């Protein structure tokens, strides 16, 4: 491994990632020509975590688990920071508990806390999963009273992780905006993927709970910026039509079909606040008691031995800001019968990709849905319904994600150059693991579903971004 210390910038550098129905049979989607590995750039800015004491502890941040030893997350006036928070370290270290693959360059913004004297600190690397760490180059001289950014060239063939270590006891170091830049798949998992570990237990579940929605202070606003249906109601769902029934679940908005026992579509907003890891995945699947009394209530046992996952529309890992938020995603009105390999492979990877966009300074408006009848689950046989015919198995699963930089006035900031990614996958267990092979246009999904997606945007903007097929970079 050859490592070269490149340069020090004398001004703050901020990085962002380069560019969270009709009944028809499964669509055949042509795979694109194989491409070279794409670049990635992922930033850890420490904005969405709280650690107020210096005691050693593992903390969960957007990029993963880190160990803070004699270090905290500071927000005082004397803390050098880009934004509201940064790491403040005494005699101690911060260490990644996860690896990153394909890394070419590492960037670290740093400086002295307050009026502390000059000192030195070290950057160390591990290529064996954290068993041993080796120092990168010479100790770094810390004389900076404003944030500066160091750039490190990494020439490692495998996975690596890093440790930032300080040995001077009487002075303090601020660290902010650690940026990972590389090629291919980074391997960084933002949040816990939506697998269904309880789908095939050896014995049937003994309880069949239902519960109402709990709404916390972290719920999205009903209208305006960050609202879950800012860009429209694709099917003109309302509170009167059983098969196009509008449910505002506060943490997402959906059109629900009583006869299918699944959502037609679910819409939600994803930003750094929603993936702040206040809670872990709850796995508290339950029927939703807030449905009209004449609707069939799908329960947490309805998918048992069906060969299909309880597939989230709004993912659990997109709502970790509270137990109320995460619990809302486990209501069965948010689920579809999804082939396990479909749910746990391309969809899990695409969901993580969208969360990595958020980590890199963006917010995402997402609409996900399904259509058609007949999927192929674990059994290998075409299945049209489960739960004694009460729940329809869809033939296709789709998603549209509109990505914009963090900011205000979201609707007005969407233009013909705004990035929109649309996916449409067959609901089968033999699916390819690469989500990029299922990229389509928004107009393709509209033709298959009959919906009017992103309808709140000006028609001229829709015409451009809905007809453009994203490259998946």
Nearest to 71 by CA among 166, 162, 151: 166
pLDDT digits (tens, 9 = 90+) for 387-409: 999 999 999 999 999 999 999 99
Asked if the model's pLDDT at residue 17 lies above 50, the reply is no
Domain boundaries, the chain: 4-19+21-183, 210-465
**Contact at 8 Å (CB) between 465 and 376?**
no
What is the percent of the chain where pLDDT is above 90? 75
Asked if the model's pLDDT at residue 18 lies above 50, the reply is no
Stated length of the chain? 473
∠ CA 23-295-221, rounded to 5° = 85
Distance CA 359, CA 6 (A): 25
**269 is a catalytic site residue:** no
CATH number of 4-19+21-183: 2.60.120.260
Average pLDDT over residues 53-58: 95
Set 5, 110, 269, 312: catalytic member: 312
Asked if the model's pLDDT at residue 348 lies above 60, the reply is yes
Tokens of 77: 């006036």
**Contact at 8 Å (CB) between 386 and 337?**
yes
Given this model, what pLDDT does residue 4 score? Answer: 36
Asked if the model's pLDDT at residue 25 lies above 70, the reply is no
Asked if the model's pLDDT at residue 282 lies above 50, the reply is yes
pLDDT digits (tens, 9 = 90+) for 183-215: 888 888 787 777 775 454 556 666 677 999 999
Given this model, what pLDDT does residue 139 score? Answer: 92
Distances (CA, A) of 89 to 10, 175, 247: 21, 8, 47
Q: Assign domain 210-465 to a CATH class.
A: alpha beta
Given this model, what pLDDT does residue 186 score? Answer: 85
Q: Where are the beta strands (DSSP E) in 13-85?
A: 39-44, 57-61, 64-74
Chain mean pLDDT for the chain: 89
């Amino acid at each position: 491994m050859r490592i070269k210390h490149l340069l020090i910038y004398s001004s703050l550098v901020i990085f962002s990632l380069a560019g969270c129905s009709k009944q028809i049979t499964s669509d055949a989607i042509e795979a694109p020509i194989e491409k070279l590995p794409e670049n990635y750039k992922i930033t850890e800015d420490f904005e969405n975590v709280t650690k107020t004491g210096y005691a050693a502890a593992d903390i969960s941040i957007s990029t993963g688990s880190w160990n803070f030893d004699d270090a905290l997350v500071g927000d005082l006036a004397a803390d050098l920071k880009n934004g509201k928070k940064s790491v403040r370290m005494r005699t101690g270290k911060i260490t990644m508990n996860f690896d990153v693959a394909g890394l070419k360059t590492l960037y670290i913004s740093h400086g002295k806390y307050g009026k502390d004297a000059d000192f030195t600190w070290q950057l160390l690397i591990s290529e064996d999963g954290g068993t041993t760490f080796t120092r990168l180059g010479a100790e770094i001289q810390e004389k900076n009273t404003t944030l500066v950014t160091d750039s490190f060239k990494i020439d490692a063939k495998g996975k690596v992780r890093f440790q930032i270590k300080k040995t001077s006891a009487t002075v303090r170091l601020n660290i902010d905006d650690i940026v990972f830049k590389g090629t291919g798949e980074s391997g960084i998992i933002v949040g816990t993927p939506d697998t269904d570990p309880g789908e095939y237990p050896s014995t049937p579940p003994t309880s069949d709970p239902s519960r109402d929605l709990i709404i916390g202070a972290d719920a999205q606003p009903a209208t305006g910026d960050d609202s879950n249906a800012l860009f429209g109601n694709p099917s003109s769902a309302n509170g009167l039509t059983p098969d196009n029934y509008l449910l505002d679940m506060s943490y997402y908005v959906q059109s629900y079909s009583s006869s299918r026992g699944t959502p037609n579509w679910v819409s939600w907003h994803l930003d750094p606040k929603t993936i702040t890891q206040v809670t872990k995945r709850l796995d508290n699947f339950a029927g939703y008691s807030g449905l009209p009394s004449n609707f069939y209530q799908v329960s947490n046992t309805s998918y048992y031995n069906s060969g299909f996952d309880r597939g989230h529309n709004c993912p659990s890992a997109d709502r970790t800001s509270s137990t109320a938020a995460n619990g809302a995603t486990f209501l069965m009105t948010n689920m579809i019968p999804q082939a396990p390999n479909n749910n746990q492979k391309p969809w899990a990877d695409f969901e993580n990709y969208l969360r990595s966009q958020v980590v890199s300074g963006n917010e995402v408006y997402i609409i996900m849905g399904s259509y058609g009848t007949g999927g192929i689950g674990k059994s290998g046989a075409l299945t049209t319904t489960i739960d004694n015919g009460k729940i329809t198995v869809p033939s296709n699963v789709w998603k549209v994600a509109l990505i914009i930089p963090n900011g205000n006035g979201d609707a007005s900031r969407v233009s013909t150059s705004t990035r929109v990614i649309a996916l449409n996958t067959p609901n089968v267990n033999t699916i390819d693991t690469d989500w990029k092979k299922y990229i389509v246009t928004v107009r393709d999904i509209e033709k298959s579903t009959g919906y009017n997606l992103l309808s709140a945007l000006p028609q001229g903007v829709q015409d451009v971004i809905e007809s453009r097929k994203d490259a998946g970079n």
